[in-house]
Structure formats: C-alpha cells, structure tokens
C-alpha cells in the first residue's frame, strides 16, 4: 500500500486521522527539525529479525524510549535479534529505510511479522504518529485503532512494556 492507499483505507474504515505532510525524515533526529502538532505521540519503529532469519518483528516505541534487545529477547523468548537489512525491509514490508512504520504491516501478505507496541502509546491522549508507508508525511490516529487495523490484517500483536 502506498501513501494514498493508506489514506483511503483510513477514510473507508471511518478511522479518525490527521495528516501532516513534511520534508522526508529518516531518523528521530531528523524529526526534531519538523514542527508537528502532537509531539507526545511520536513513535520510533524498529524492524528486527532473529539470527536464523526465521522470525521478524516490528517494534514500535514511544519516541523517547529505548529498547534493550537482550531484555526483549528474554521476556518474549526470541532468539538473538538484529536489525533487518534495507533489502529485507523492502521485501517483507515494501518499505525503504527511514520509512519504517506499523502501517507497513499492511504490505505483509503472509502476516508473519509480529508487531510489538509500547503500552505507553495507549496512555492519554492515546494517539500515535506514524508514517503512511512514506517518510514525507506523518499520520496521527488513535493507537487502539492502529492495533485493531493490524490485528484485522492478520499480524500477531503484543502490547508490551519495554
């Protein structure tokens, strides 16, 4: 799904959303150069694979949080994790580096990428800002609606406390 298809899906499903178009951002540092209306809703996304390339994970955290990969591995019983390559990201989610987003899971036809989302993103105000499969915009939506959208698509979802 491209950006236009994401916007249409949100509209068709009557999901509240707010769109902010901006110059391309590739990192959280780049994001600080863009004025966005909901800084409390910033999220960072990590696309990870295990060391056997058998399992893939998309982890979405509140923007100011960090993920301890060793603790994550222990808590969720995964094998050793590392960041997926740009080629793997493109193959699995149809995304470019710098545009990782939970909405990319809608491109996962096999529904094999497991989505982990930070419970802090469900706390008030309960909204999240993510790329619409393109890093030239941020779309805000209710975190609960995002989770429901991903579950409806068929990917496994876990709400976590990192």
pLDDT in tens, 134-144: 999 999 999 99
* Whole-prediction pTM: 0.92
Contact yes or no for 56/84 (Cβ under 8 A): yes
Contact yes or no for 98/44 (Cβ under 8 A): no
CATH class of 3-160: alpha beta
Contact yes or no for 99/89 (Cβ under 8 A): no
> Could you report the per-residue pLDDT of 60-118, keeping only the tens digit for each?
999 889 999 999 999 999 999 999 999 999 999 999 988 999 999 999 999 999 999 99
């Amino acid at each position: 799904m491209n950006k236009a298809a994401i916007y249409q899906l949100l509209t068709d499903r009557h999901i509240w959303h707010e769109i902010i178009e901006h110059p391309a951002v590739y990192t959280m540092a780049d994001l600080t150069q863009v004025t966005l209306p909901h800084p409390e809703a910033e999220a960072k996304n990590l696309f990870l694979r295990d060391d056997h390339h058998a399992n893939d994970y998309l982890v979405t955290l509140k923007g100011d949080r960090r993920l301890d990969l060793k603790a994550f591995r222990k808590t969720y019983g995964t094998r050793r994790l590392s960041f997926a390559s740009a080629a793997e990201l493109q193959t699995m989610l149809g995304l470019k580096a710098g545009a990782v987003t939970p909405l990319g899971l809608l491109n996962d036809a096999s529904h094999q990428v497991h989505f982990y989302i930070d419970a802090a993103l469900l706390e008030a105000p309960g909204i999240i800002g993510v790329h619409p499969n393109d890093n030239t915009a941020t779309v805000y939506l209710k975190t609960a609606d995002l989770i429901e959208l991903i579950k409806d698509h068929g990917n496994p979802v876990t709400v976590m406390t990192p």
